[in-house]
Amino acid sequence: MENDIRVYVEEAPGQRTELVGPTDMGLSLMELLKASGYDIMATCGGMALCATCHVEVLAGPALPEPEDAELDMLETLPVVHEGSRLSCQIRLTPRTDGLVVRLAATGA
């Protein structure tokens, strides 16, 4: 579809699964991951309050900078990476086409 973009989830080094998501529904990456059956809790429903949707961005287009609420939450995690983000704070837009992410370890 015209409004669809692709994001890739890296399951293991070199092993990526392609997900197709719409850009005209205001969905977040967290919602797409959940809808695709990935094991993320997203306890707070996308309010940047729980960090159970933590992902690591490995490659792809430059994303908008995280807002304060997201940075605050990332700060509380024991392990973060250079590309750590909360997937609920990443909107699916034409600008996120081609994003490659890895799910962070559960609980982190």
Ligand X SMILES: Cc1cc2nc3c(=O)[nH]c(=O)nc-3n(C[C@H](O)[C@H](O)[C@H](O)COP(=O)(O)OP(=O)(O)OC[C@H]3O[C@@H](n4cnc5c(N)ncnc54)[C@H](O)[C@@H]3O)c2cc1C
Binding site for ligand FES (CB under 6 A): 30, 42-44, 46-53, 73, 86, 88
Report which residue type is found at 20: V
Catalogue the E-assigned strands of the chain.
4-12, 15-22, 54-59, 84-86, 99-103
- Contact yes or no for 64/99 (Cβ under 8 A): no
75 binds, among another protein, ligand FES, ligand X, none (CB under 5 to 8 A by kind): another protein
The whole-angstrom separation of Cα 86 and Cα 46 is 9
30 binds, among ligand X, ligand FES, another protein, none (CB under 5 to 8 A by kind): ligand FES
Q: Which is nearer to ligand X, 3 or 43 (CB)?
A: 43
The whole-angstrom separation of Cα 15 and Cα 83 is 19
Residue 71 dihedral angles phi and psi, to the nearest 5°: -60, -40
Q: Which is nearer to ligand X, 45 or 61 (CB)?
A: 45
Residues 45-84 that bind another protein (CB under 8 A): 47, 49-52, 68, 71-72, 75-80
Chain residues in the site for another protein (CB under 8 A): 41, 43-44, 47, 49-52, 68, 71-72, 75-80, 106-108
